[in-house]
Amino acid sequence: MHLTHKFSERQKLHFLGLLVGVLAGFAAVLLGFLIDIVKSVLNRGFDGFLFPWQYLVLPGVGMLLSLLLLRFVIRDDIGHGVTKVLLAVSRNESRIKPHNTWSSLLTSAVTIGFGGSVGAEAPIVYTGAAIGSNLGRRFGLSYRNTTILLGCGAAAAVAGIFKAPLAGILFTMEILLFNMSMSALLPMLLATISATVISCLFRGPLPLFPCTTTAFSMGNIPFYLLLGVLLGFCSLYFTGVTLWLEDRLARIGNAYLRWGLCAAFLGLLIFLFPPLYGEGYDSLGALLDGRPDVGGGALLPVLLQSPWGLPLFFLLVFLLKVLAMTCTNAGGGNGGTFGPTLFCGAVMGFVAARVLNLLGAGVPEQNFALVGMAALMAGVMQAPLTAIFLIAEISGGYALLLPLILAATVSFGTVRIFEKYSIYTKRLAKSGDLLTHDNDRSALTLLNTRDLIRDKYPRMRPDQTLGEVVEVVASCTAAVIAVVDGRERYQGVIDIGNIRQALFRHRDYAKLRVYNLMETAPALIHDTDRMDAVMRKFEATQAWRLPVVDADNRYLGFISRSRLLTAYRAELKEITQD
């Protein structure tokens, strides 16, 4: 470690960016390997899809194993990986616990390998971010550079699992680090390129979803615009139902009861609609190849009696995939929404194309499935650039760049009319923990109320005398005195400037008590208050300093306006520094 002192922090950041990329690339390869191992063990001896009883049982078994690992081995909540990374940046100084470098890999491999209807991308993003965070702390980097290294890990994880370096950088810029400066670009490039190289060495250089698309026709532009609008509303459904159902299932306090209900429902859904099994990438690949694979669903013979049966089947798959994904996570499994977003986008792109073709439009279904992936991702994640270039990179479909841009932009614009926040940021925005492109608001979000408290002020009891107040004033330079009871609960404040005349009335030294002299503060700050709420209290009262109390009204100290503004200016300078 002492050798690192010879290098500047910028040099260490570049080296560590490369190292994080290599480690995140290996983590992405390892996660894919573990998922494949679990699948191959379970599927050994069977050709094609699993037997129906296994559809009913295996996903629930995987969820239970993940739940037991979380409760008895990891002993921490590691779900909602991307949201957790955002929270670490805004509320925990970019600190992520060391176990997150492996715990998400283990639980998501079990969940997905057994058929849980979720994606591996959010867990690997959490893993990559944890690698960056812990290396940054290990090498003593500043908060700002540790945050950049965290972003390098997340970008490298996306690049490694998709073999898409540009999409990894855009993902971090659009979703994780809103205020990333140009100084972060070089280490992030080093991270994503190294992760992509590692992934290609072990998994081959071909795109993740190589597909045969037909040439783009300018005459289909109106249809792509309509697809963007449709996928925008599908994005609202995806986000709204996911968050709503998560809240409802979270009300079931008994984890094993919640697992039982979710496992039974998930098994039934997969039995009826086999494309819901696992990540769904086999079905997605089939759609991109122009050969939709329904997997022998139990309802299929009835639906296929009509040419409209196949698009209806896949429409139901889309609607139910959101439920299957949410039940997997709520029941104890660990996975993300990234993969299901890609799957659902392809499904709805195919459904839209097949319906148009049944009406005589003659549009290419593979193209629409591919463009649908970008459109739904742009709406759900509210990250249109990530969606456009990720789909182009994982499919080799740069020939469709124009329709990708059109549909993703229209979908994003449609969603923004109704919903300001993405599936990752909605809850953080509600709780006040979200960093935004607004530097002023970001600076306030990063400040912690407890860090600004100063307890240098003397304390007195309400029944003490004026004479004792004079002794305290003579022995300190504080401008105020906090008044507390025997249990340190806040009672009031003495402003020494306001009692100056009383200090010279010797005849009142024994008669006047503290409770005769103290005032009520114009406002109280609670140690759990967000910094924007603290700022509003100062603005409303025009006070110079305000007392801080905890939930039991115990006095903790004061926050002064000058201390708050100094900290705010320092934080603003930090996040805008290039």
Tens of pLDDT along 255-266? 999 999 999 999
On whether both 113 and 179 belong to a single domain, the answer is yes
Of 155, 171, 203, the one marking the end of a domain is 203
On whether both 356 and 392 belong to a single domain, the answer is yes
How confident is the model at residue 3, as a pLDDT?
A: 46
Give a yes or no: residue 25 inside a domain: yes
Give me the helices (H) in 359-383, please.
365-381
On whether both 287 and 372 belong to a single domain, the answer is yes
How confident is the model at residue 135, as a pLDDT?
A: 94
**Is pLDDT above 50 for 49?**
no
Give a yes or no: residue 311 inside a domain: yes
How confident is the model at residue 52, as a pLDDT?
A: 61
On whether both 285 and 433 belong to a single domain, the answer is yes
On whether both 81 and 47 belong to a single domain, the answer is yes
Q: Specify whether the CB–CB gap between 529 and 451 falls below 8 A.
A: no
How confident is the model at residue 302, as a pLDDT?
A: 58
**Is pLDDT above 90 for 249?**
yes
312-346 pLDDT, tens digit each = 989 999 999 999 999 999 999 999 898 999 999 99
Give a yes or no: residue 522 inside a domain: yes
How confident is the model at residue 570, as a pLDDT?
A: 75
Share of the chain above pLDDT 90, in %: 51
What CATH number should be reported for the domain holding residue 571?
3.10.580.10
Of 411, 437, 463, the one marking the end of a domain is 437
**Is pLDDT above 80 for 1?**
no
How confident is the model at residue 181, as a pLDDT?
A: 65
In sequence order, the β-bridge partners of residue 513 are 465
- Residue 134 pLDDT grade (very low, low, confident, very high; cuts 50, 70, 90): very high
On whether both 190 and 223 belong to a single domain, the answer is no
How confident is the model at residue 42, as a pLDDT?
A: 82
CA distances from 36 to 109, 115, 246, 286 (A): 9, 11, 28, 19
- Quote the number of domains for the chain: 3
Give a yes or no: residue 461 inside a domain: yes
Of 437, 457, 483, the one marking the end of a domain is 437
On whether both 431 and 561 belong to a single domain, the answer is no
Give a yes or no: residue 210 inside a domain: no
Give a yes or no: residue 123 inside a domain: yes
**Is pLDDT above 70 for 50?**
no
How confident is the model at residue 578, as a pLDDT?
A: 47
Domain of 260 in residue numbering reads as 218-437
Q: What is the DSSP string of 62-127?
A: HHHHHHHHIIIII-S---SHHHHHHHHHHHSTT---GGGGTHHHHHHHHHHHTT-S-BSHHHHHHH
On whether both 144 and 160 belong to a single domain, the answer is yes
How confident is the model at residue 295, as a pLDDT?
A: 67
On whether both 197 and 99 belong to a single domain, the answer is yes
**Is pLDDT above 80 for 143?**
no
On whether both 355 and 278 belong to a single domain, the answer is yes
On whether both 167 and 273 belong to a single domain, the answer is no
How confident is the model at residue 499, as a pLDDT?
A: 87
Helical packing angle, 338-358 and 309-330, nearest 10°: 170
- What's the pTM value of the predicted model, to 2 decimals? 0.80
Give a yes or no: residue 209 inside a domain: no
Please give the residue that has the higher pLDDT: either 85 or 231. 231
What CATH number should be reported for the domain holding residue 297?
1.10.3080.10
Give a yes or no: residue 213 inside a domain: no
On whether both 377 and 240 belong to a single domain, the answer is yes
The SS3 of residue 123 is helix
Question: What letter would DSSP give residue 182?
Answer: G
